Amino acid sequence: MDSYIDKQYLASRHLKDADTFYVNINFEVLNGCKWACRGCHVNREIQQGIGGEYTEKFVNLLNDFEQNKYKPFIAFIAPTDFLVANNTVEFLNDDATVEILNKFHRLSLQTTYLDVDSPRVDAIVDVLNARYKNMELEINIVIEPAQILNEKYLDVLAHNKASLERRLTSFNHIRTFGIFNVFDYSATKIAETLQNYDLLHHKIQHLFDTTIDYNFSLGRKDDLPGEEFEKTVLSISELFDDAISGEKVKFLRFSFGKLTDSLIEKQYNYRMGEFFASPLLYERFVSFREELKIPINKWTASEFEQWEHNLQLTQYSNVGDKDECGSCHYLGSCIDRGVLHLMDAYGIKRCVVARDALDAINFKRSKLESNER
């Protein structure tokens, strides 16, 4: 087993400590969900597996990645609650799927933890224990933001999480992050609370030992207007920028934060035989817009590398039509994460990142003057 599997993995690992790149794939494969989580826009019924005609392609692709200094790291299984999806057992127990997913180091699943007692859940637990015991397991909690002050709700999540983890006996430690769907929080009864990152972090960390990941599920809307995307992204930027005073800054966390984050990590979205870009805007962004499709024909690492190279050149060539990007010292980082590509896809000109928060995280200062950026 490769030594990297035994190491603590952090997205912000320094390049000087890296002897390889890491590649993650978000697999859109689960169908069915009985919940109606606010801010969720996934298509619950059209997903297909990764077996059949794609088995050999995937095996060859992952082998080719490894031969070119990429380690398959995280396999995200999406887009619905894996404990209630109607094809979880069928998918995870498929021999081709087992072969493909076991090439990754970590298996990442997500659930609301609202239903853990059913024959379906028992079958899922059995499959995970039997066929994925050599992988690291991550189970993320999709939390209803409007219920964050509801202690009974949080108690149910904590109880059900503990119950499920006790049954997953093949895994010594299960990683967990809290996921918030992003929507117009001002329309809730606790809008002020949902703008208090410090309070939210403490609520989740205390109960689940997690940090909060903001999930832009609205990106899955094929007809999402640029204006709606811009408004929603800016609301999260303001939330992070407002959370940098005093002691609060040490609790601030999002995957986009450190300038070194993602430099050795690549991630792609996969659905029904096609790959799509996964820009890193606070967290990884999932959308199946035509502008984000990656033209892969031979399923080789070099095709992804050539696409990444071309995308960087395109983003740099389009800097001139943005309001602030050309004079910002975060430009290179945003281009590396595909942020300008995302801005182009939605026709956005103004900055969409929390620069005050980035200043605090990277320079230990609450703000940089405009001429320092």
Which sequence spans correspond to the domains of the chain?
18-215, 310-372
Q: Which two tokens stand for residue 213?
A: 């990941």
- The gap between the terminal CA atoms of the chain, to the nearest Å, is 44
pLDDT in tens, 317-329: 999 999 999 999 8
What is the predicted pLDDT for the residue at 83? 98
Q: How far apart are CA 265 and CA 141, in angstroms?
A: 23
What is the predicted pLDDT for the residue at 259? 62
Cβ proximity of 265 and 322 under 8 Å = no
Mean pLDDT of the chain: 86
Q: Which of 146, 135, 141 is nearest to 99 (CA)?
A: 135
What is the predicted pLDDT for the residue at 322? 96
pLDDT in tens, 249-261: 555 555 555 666 5
Q: How far apart are CA 141 and CA 219, in angstroms?
A: 20
Cα dihedral sign, 57-271-114-216 = positive
Look up residue 8 and give its DSSP letter: P
Q: Which two tokens stand for residue 99?
A: 């072969």
Cβ proximity of 328 and 307 under 8 Å = no
Q: How far apart are CA 343 and CA 334, in angstroms?
A: 10
Evaluate if residue 171 carries a pLDDT over 60: yes
Q: How far apart are CA 337 and CA 248, in angstroms?
A: 26
pLDDT in tens, 211-247: 678 888 999 988 899 999 999 999 888 877 876 655 5
pLDDT in tens, 282-297: 889 999 999 999 999 9
pLDDT in tens, 336-358: 999 999 999 999 999 999 888 88
Q: What is the mean pLDDT of residues 48-60?
A: 91
What pTM value is reported for the model? 0.90
